[in-house]
Chains A and B, each alone.
Chain A
């Protein structure tokens, strides 16, 4: 009994010690080929946005690929990533930066601080055309980035809290969400003349517009996300010649859309993925994916070279994400564990 305390304390310490497991293999990547770059948003104020490199088809990965290449972190809340020319552009929203990397080997080229008078512009999404990258900024502007000089040429005033952006018919279509005025959100899409960098008009499309997509024919599709309550999230179509909303009658719920081919795109929400045909202007098929195998459908992408669908599963938004691969018959093929809240894939053959 005399030494009970001592023995108990030692036992407590010893039993509470953990051993680290084996370190996973991290491939050394000199060139971006046979793999995919995955942008993971991370969580607000956690500074844990990241890039995962996944070697395909084997799945060997570097979960800190950006850090491996730059020796620094990506920042807070990476929202969008595009490949344009020989560069990759990454928008980091809360850190308010644009990271520019070489598309050949992911080596860093430039980091652009997106601030105006000392205040963060909070960039969100990008589109590219004519040697420029157009970046929506939550402070109510679209910034024009010259891809040669890597500087912001000009700022184009649009509506409040712009989100998605697409290019068609030498015009930019920008969804003005007004999200920071919730519940009094915006309901317009700004149309911008690329030649003059001026806003031509605002088109009313329905409340809380978010995603914007242009198909090969130039038609513009916009998702009006509703009020997350009784007003549902719905698709709208804009004719780029007349800049009129030509279809507001789509009846299916939608949270996102992604390009697929000249004739089709994929539309999705938490209950599944469907094929939308531009000719018939409607959903024509459901990809029969067993949604019970998906925890939190966050984004969907299509890879034309293998005719497969990739579901970016956010796993409840607070757990490491999973990229799940299915064929067009809905059969599960494989999955890859990635960072927190995967939001965009870039494939490299």
Chain B
């Protein structure tokens, strides 16, 4: 595995040299008169501001980024975010969860078009089941933007991932259409179609996607001192996604949207690679339906939103060769959720206020008698204020949640408070430099599985509490350094987690149970930078890099692992991307590095997992006909250097593989 470092270094170095040479042939002054901003009709705007528009969302990705990365799912995008660690159990269709700034996945809200999507059974979303097509932006962070209109409950988690799709806006009065077909390694085929337009006060948008793949990929696995070759079987995957939006402007300043989204997934579960045992025949079928209604009133300095969100998620797990009396296992689960709320932002003379309420009910039905019929009702309320004073920008939000749990046998009520406060300080005479401080107390409720799942569940679990302290330093260098522009952002953070919910063996090795036993302390820092060199027109080179160092330490009193880095928390993660835009040609080289980590909390050599560094490349060509039709072709090569790696022990990831994409857009 260590050879991969050398290969990657040589490859990246070579490409850097070549690319710099190629662009050096055409060094020109930047045209500052007019620049076409993508997705905004010709807007007269200075290049300085354009650069800032592109550079501001350092914690996020733009539509161009997303298109060029062309990931299998949103997890591929999240892995580019500093401070985020994606725990991936496989390639296409594999379970993928995220840990942000050392906190577990249950501390991260996933927001799509301002709606928070949840799964009370698992307590977190499988990012491997969320599609990346149709996304216009992806953002991540700790504190939601104050004047945003995201669901109230999304403010109650430690971190957030926000994905905005093409269905978020009202649309234009002409038809926009986008179609793509993809063909890739492991017999992967897919087709995607989206379209939107408005008709006076009405707007419609819809999308559909079909994808299937045989999924059998070759891999190498280290067995003792011997590297063995094999093929990952039972990894087939099919999914379909549909959705539509119907929008109506009620008045000039308000609009109503009705949205429906559904997903169907059927897949083999290859499981962990087990030495000497290649059998795997389990399957999983998932269906997800979500109905949403959104009413936004957008007056001058006064915005309010009413929303309703209902979801049905059906999951079936099937093991045809389980060694029980029946000879198989067929578990069926149905998660039901309904939430509705109201949020408002209002700007007064000297202060901005934000307040909102939300009610959410969640229920789970299953054919597993041991699970009962869990039901949860949650009420959220928040009130926040933001004030700017001289060089200071103060923000404070107080939130409270009342939660009632019932599974037919036991009932429990919890009241939790989620206060947060932040202050931002612009250094005098250096407006490009800012200092930020944030404190946030948040919690995550035990999932239905953690509470009630047979012997494992523990209905006496308390919410897991996290205290977050962030100290940030943001430096936007707007000056030219030999026509290069820089932005640097650094942040330090400290989190402390109490009542951490973990599964531990209680009666014997086979009887595990969820307990509030662990405590963890997290501290670290991240740095990110974007460097842009512009040439004539839209030609440019961009370098993006981020690096996160974090210690996620078990501080459970008396624990054997006290002082150890917790499982699957790499101390170092980094991304380094190079992008070239030259006329109609786009190219992106992406590096992702994850340092060594431990498969269990005990930091001993037997639990150590090797670091890995993967290199992806993308080349795209777009041709526009009469400013109306855009035809594009793109090839993505993932894991270019064919590195054998696994983030989770025994869950091997695919080696080098390809994806060819043909795009057609009516602009």
B505, B507, B509, B572: residue with the most chain A Cβ atoms closer than 10 Å: B509
Assess whether A228 is interfacial by the CB under 8 Å rule: yes
A92 to B276, CA, bound (A): 10
- Determine how close the nearest CB of chain A comes to the CB of B286; give it in whole angstroms: 22
A274 close to chain B: CB less than 8 A: no
Min distance, Cβ A322 to any Cβ of chain B, angstroms:
10
| Bound form: Cα–Cα A45–B370 in Å | 24
Confirm or deny: A305 has a beta carbon within 8 angstroms of a beta carbon on chain B.
no
A15 to B274, CA, bound (A): 38
Residues 217-261 of chain A: 1 if any B CB is under 8 Å from the residue's CB, otherwise 0? 000000000001000000000000000000000000001000000
A208 to chain B, nearest CB (A): 11
Check B602–A5 contact: CB distance below 8 A: no
Q: How large is the interface on A (under 10, 10 to 19, 20 to 34, 35 or more residues)?
A: 35 or more
C-alpha spacing A255/B508, complex, angstroms: 9
Is the pair B279, A228 in contact by a Cβ cutoff of 8 Å? no
Residues in B with CB closer than 8 Å to A13 are 547, 549
Q: Is A198's CB within 8 Å of the partner chain B?
A: no
Known pairs A161-B323, A319-B560; A71 contacts B226 (CB<8 A): yes
Known pairs A12-B549, A63-B606, A72-B223; A122 contacts B507 (CB<8 A) = no
- Closest A residue to B433 by beta carbon equals A1
Contact at A122–B572, with CB atoms within 8 Å? Answer: no
Known: A5-B490, A97-B276. A317 touches B325 (CB 8 A): no
Nearest CB on B from A32, distance (A) = 20
Chain B 621-667 residues near chain A, CB threshold 8 A: 649-650
Knowing A16-B571, A115-B279 are in contact, say whether A339-B606 is a contact too (CB < 8 A).
yes
| Contact call A318/B225, Cβ cutoff below 8 A | no
Per-residue CB contact flags for chain B residues 246-279 toward chain A (1 = under 8 Å, else 0) read 0000000000000000000000000111111101
Number of A-B contacts (CB under 8 A): 137
Q: Is A341 an interface residue when CB atoms closer than 8 A count as contact?
A: yes
- B455 at the A interface (CB under 8 A): yes
**A180 near B: Cβ within 8 Å?**
yes
- Would you call A50 an interface residue if the criterion is a C-beta within 8 Å of the partner chain's C-beta atoms? yes
Q: Determine the chain A residues whose CB is within 8 A of the CB of B650 once the complex forms.
A: 45-47
Q: Is A58 positioned at the interface, with any CB of B under 8 Å from its CB?
A: no
**Nearest Cβ on chain B to A55's Cβ, whole angstroms:** 19
Q: How far is the CA of A1 from the CA of B547 in the complex (A)?
A: 21
| B274 pairs with A318, CB closer than 8 A | no
- A306-349 contacts to B (CB < 8 Å): 314-320, 339-341
B560:A315 contact, CB within 8 angstroms: yes
Q: Is B56 an interface residue, CB under 8 A from the partner?
A: no
A56 at the interface (CB under 8 A from B): no
Please state if A180 and B322 are interface contacts (CB–CB under 8 Å): yes
Q: Is B200 an interface residue (CB 8 A)?
A: no
Report if A320-B602 is in contact (Cβ < 8 Å); known contacts: A12-B525, A73-B224, A255-B508. yes
Cβ of B604 under 8 Å from chain A: yes
Chain B residues within an 8 Å CB radius of A95: 274-277
Task: Collect the chain B residues with CB atoms within 8 Å of residue A96's CB.
Answer: 276-277
Q: Do residues B271 and A45 form an inter-chain contact, with CB atoms below 8 A?
A: yes
A12-B549, A160-B324, A316-B560 given; A46·B649 CB < 8 A: yes
Interface residues of B in 373-393 (CB under 8 A from A): none
- In the complex, B600 has a CB within 8 A of chain A: yes
Q: In angstroms, how far is the closest chain B Cβ from the Cβ of A336?
A: 15
Asked whether B488 lies within 8 Å of A48 as measured between CB atoms, the reply is no
Q: Which residues of A contact B370 (CB under 8 A)?
A: 183
Q: How far is the CB of B604 from chain A (nearest CB, A)?
A: 6
Q: Give A285 Cβ to nearest chain B Cβ, in Å.
A: 25
| A47 vs B280: C-alpha distance when bound (angstroms) | 16
Q: What is the minimal beta-carbon distance from A294 to any residue of chain B, in angstroms?
A: 13
Decide if A319 touches B602 in the complex (CB within 8 Å).
yes
1/0 per residue, CB under 8 A from B, across A131-169: the answer is 000000011100000000000000000001100000000
- CB neighbours (8 Å) of B272 from chain A are 45-47
Within 8 A of A (CB), among B389-441: 430, 433
Residue A70, interface by CB 8 Å: yes
Q: In the assembled complex, which residues on chain B have CB atoms less than 8 Å from the CB atom of A76?
A: 274-275, 277
Q: Which residue of A lies closest to B602 (CB)?
A: A319
Contact A320 B224 (CB under 8 A): no
Q: Distance in Å from the Cβ of B358 to the closest Cβ of chain A?
A: 38
**B509: A residues at CB distance < 8 A:** 41, 298, 314, 317, 341
> In the complex, how many angstroms separate the beta carbon of B572 from the nearest chain A beta carbon?
7
Q: Mark A255-294, 1 if CB is under 8 A from B, else 0.
A: 1000000000000000000000000000000000000000
Does B521 belong to the interface (CB within 8 Å)?
no
Chain A residues with Cβ below 8 Å from B277 are: 75-76, 94-97, 115, 120
Q: Does B332 contact A (CB under 8 A)?
A: no
Q: Residue B168 at the A interface, CB < 8 A?
A: no
Is residue B497 contacting chain A, with contact meaning CB distance below 8 A?
A: no
Would you list which residues of chain B between 498 and 544 have a CB under 8 Å from chain A? 504-505, 507-511, 525, 527
Chain B 540-563 interface 0/1 with A at a Cβ cutoff of 8 Å (1 = within): 000000010100000000001100
Known: A48-B606, A63-B606, A75-B274. A120 touches B226 (CB 8 A): no
Q: Which residues of B contact A120 (CB under 8 A)?
A: 277, 279
Cross-chain contact A72 with B455 (CB below 8 angstroms): no
CB of A116, distance to nearest CB on chain B (Å): 10
Task: Looking at the assembled complex, report how far the CB atom of A137 sits from the nearest CB atom of chain B, in whole angstroms.
Answer: 9
| Residue in A closest to B272 when the chains form the complex, CB atoms | A45
User: Is the C-beta of A178 less than 8 angstroms from some C-beta in chain B?
Assistant: yes
- By beta carbon, the residue of chain B nearest A49 is B275
Q: How far is the CA of A76 from the CA of B279 in the complex (A)?
A: 14
Which of A73, A160, A161 counts the most B-chain CB atoms under 10 A from its CB? A73
- A178 and B325 contacting across the interface, CB-CB below 8 Å: yes
A10 to chain B, nearest CB (A): 11
Q: Please, how many angstroms separate the alpha-carbon atoms of A70 and B223 in the complex?
A: 11
Report how far A161 CA is from B525 CA in the complex, Å: 51
A75 to chain B, nearest CB (A): 4
Q: Is A43 an interface residue (CB 8 A)?
A: yes
* Contact between chains at A70 and B276 (CB < 8 Å): no
A16: chain B residues at CB < 8 Å are 549, 571-572
Residues of chain B with a CB closer than 8 A to A181's CB? 324-325
A67 contacts B325, C-beta separation under 8 Å: no
Q: Which of A22-72 contact B (CB under 8 A)?
A: 41, 43, 45-48, 50, 63-64, 67, 70-72
Interface: B238 (CB within 8 A): no
CB distance from B462 to the nearest CB of A (A): 21
Cross-chain contact of A46 among B225, B572, B599 (Cβ < 8 A): B599
Q: Does B601 contact A (CB under 8 A)?
A: yes
Q: How far is the CA of A296 from the CA of B271 in the complex (A)?
A: 29
Determine whether B183 belongs to the interface, using a CB cutoff of 8 Å to chain A: no
Task: Select one of B279, B473, B527 contacting A119, CB under 8 A.
Answer: B279
* Contact with B276, one of A75, A228, A314 (Cβ below 8 angstroms): A75
C-alpha gap A255/B272 in the complex (Å): 30
| Distance to closest chain A CB from B489 (angstroms) | 9
- Does A113 lie at the interface of the complex (its beta carbon under 8 Å from any beta carbon of B)? yes
Query: A85 in the interface, Cβ–Cβ < 8 Å?
Result: no
Query: Roughly how many angstroms separate A50 CA and B602 CA in the complex, as a whole number?
Result: 17
Question: Is B210 an interface residue, CB under 8 A from the partner?
Answer: no
CA distance A64 to B370 in the complex (A): 40
Give the residues from 567 to 612 in chain B that come closer than 8 angstroms, CB to CB, to chain A.
571-572, 599-602, 604, 606-607
Q: Are the C-beta atoms of A71 and B600 separated by less than 8 Å?
A: no
| Alpha-carbon distance A178/B223, docked complex (angstroms) | 33
Q: Is B32 an interface residue (CB 8 A)?
A: no
The 6 closest A-B pairs by CB, nearest first: A72-B224, A45-B272, A180-B324, A317-B505, A95-B276, A75-B275
12 A-B contact pairs sorted by A residue (CB < 8 Å): A12-B525, A13-B549, A45-B649, A47-B650, A48-B606, A138-B323, A160-B325, A161-B323, A161-B324, A315-B560, A317-B509, A318-B504
